[in-house]
Chain A
């Protein structure tokens, strides 16, 4: 392997020397041309140019070679007697010695500069990669996110196509889950068997993929199986190149593993695994609670509505009242279950707004329709202009937020009092506000009403509720890019709760309406 490395270095130097020779020849031709045309005789200094170029491009060996060639060419072509290496004028000899000294110093300086430039450029690239990598890790939520971040990071570090396969931990289909791009089947098979048996084998196995490309399959780190397996495309390289690549891969992977360990990736992966399991459990629970609780409710409510219309019960006012109780209590239970489900959905980050262009008037009307029964005892005053802008939101979520606010207003204000609903657009925002003449808020209560399970102590004994309503409303509004606020002049003086939503201009071509008239 070392032979291969030396061979490569030698080849690079020889190439530099060859190019230097050409450069010096070109310079000689140029000086010759100048002497012939203009008659200037002192051109030796011009040989510093090839020295400088060689030093910055091909390194110190080429630079020194250029200096020597320059001396020889000067002596041979330009100093008397011409076309011989003999120099008659001692002045010229001093010039040449000076030239050699300058050339050596310049070539040293230039090569050092070149090396430093390369190092700092590489360092900058490394830093940028690392920064991008850690930023992706910070937002990565599940194992797949982390893995694709690692995969991309390794791809950048190796400058080769890299496919990462998860560790044996979730081997049940885990390896296949990732599409892994254009990884040939033979390599995938090797990965499978590697997962099964020889995971500690750090040297790895080279597999010939399709169209003559070689792939290296190995564990990312022998110490941390969480990081999984890696397959690297070596391309169509000769054996020597592959050996050199292997050394680079070893170094790069050692670096990368150190980075991964420093960033606590193993821990993050394990945590993500656990999180996804918890999420699955929670979703299953939500689904089954929803079904198990609501199916009997549907029967209870349905049966109660049939009973209330049954001819046999007409005229039995007391019995009808009982039936009505069954019905309204079932409806309340249904609302409570819905609130619990919504709350669970919010905490598991499960709200995905289905935004569309919606008319705020439609949203308010639907919410009012839904709360008609609950607000029947109140005077509801609606105040909205007929030219409200459209808003781009999930109308169902906003409606549900409004329903919670209406419910709240009806619950905490006396029957017969007024509930005013207003909508207005101002400064690029749509404001839907609901004012009641009810219990109001104390200064302490104001910031607390948005909290989960917040219940005003003043009302705990007299009014039922879970304390989830406004928290849910707030979350639904936030999911639509809006915010909520509450204002009250004090206890007993009523409160105004408002939803603020962003308004972006809808482009409705006016001519659509008139084009065909």
Chain B
């Protein structure tokens, strides 16, 4: 009776687990590509993985490790349990903005997944080859052969060509070192399949994603200083002119003007005729997001996350009063393809100090993003002359018929909303001039040569307040420019 109860409970637990796996898989796909579900819901879905994994593992693995012996069930449990554990580590790091930890977790997890898969491949091949050997032996016994030994010459002499790669007697493994040849082939094939799967998953375009600007309006004007005049009226004494006491009468209405100079937005920072700071083409739930572009070959994640990008995003919110996202994000170049025309990010940020390696496909996507989707690239040299050359070379591939020019100091991008009559930089890695690529009267790429991202960090790299303040202003200008141009374009599209 007790056993029956256990069986029923176990069956129910298996059913619960199966149901959860389906839900978990859906949530993972959403987390990686769709991004439809809100973060809080993802937390709710992912967190139950912890007790489930613990229960399954504790069931299969006894408390005393001395008693423990690997078997197919325990190995399967351990392998399957690894996946949610890995995913959870990356998810939590991502949610807590521990991007470096998340990146390490992702890399280590990929390595571990490869090793686990390899172990299963080795085990599977061994099982299969033993199985085929046994079949052969049985067949031979039934054919009343005297010799029990497996003679390779005999096998070959049988005239049958074996094609099955799981069988060590397959003809292409040769006559000598068949086992070794099979192992090498298995390893190579597995590595190839794993690499291909990794590439596909990491470059996969996924489903559609939306970028919506905050709704509202405003003017594309420089921030003006407003002088507030405050009247301070001195205390007056009421004196009886007929009094017997002689008073020295003070001037009747001595008014002191106190001029308080304050910097205040004399208008709403935005573009269009809506109310509140925002953009005409925006939506109520729309927010200004800071999206960093991931690329291969270099350190795209330099100062990524809480330290710098988020500071800039918060400053943008403080300075423009526009709605901004809670967190900064990153997308691969391929993922830019997921954004539809009219709902794609107006600006993406790219930094680093090493190589920028883009495939032909990525170059095409970036070109389409800049020209067709009216996007803008905000490049920042994170620390070397080499990166300067890499960025220029990349742009030469993306826009071969547009040459970079030094952006004038009196250009809109340097004047609105903040007037910046100079180029602030942390270190002159790529010269002292901001470069731009202009297409049809619009900057499609702004390249800052001197590590503006370092000025946005918490410690501002130790540079003077004047410079880091100017760097925030410049960052605000570039983000604002991108969004304004996008808004203008959306309006023009509507009119068409």
Q: Do A and B come from one complex?
A: no
Interface residues, chain B, CB within 8 Å of chain A?
none
Interface residues, chain A, CB within 8 Å of chain B?
none
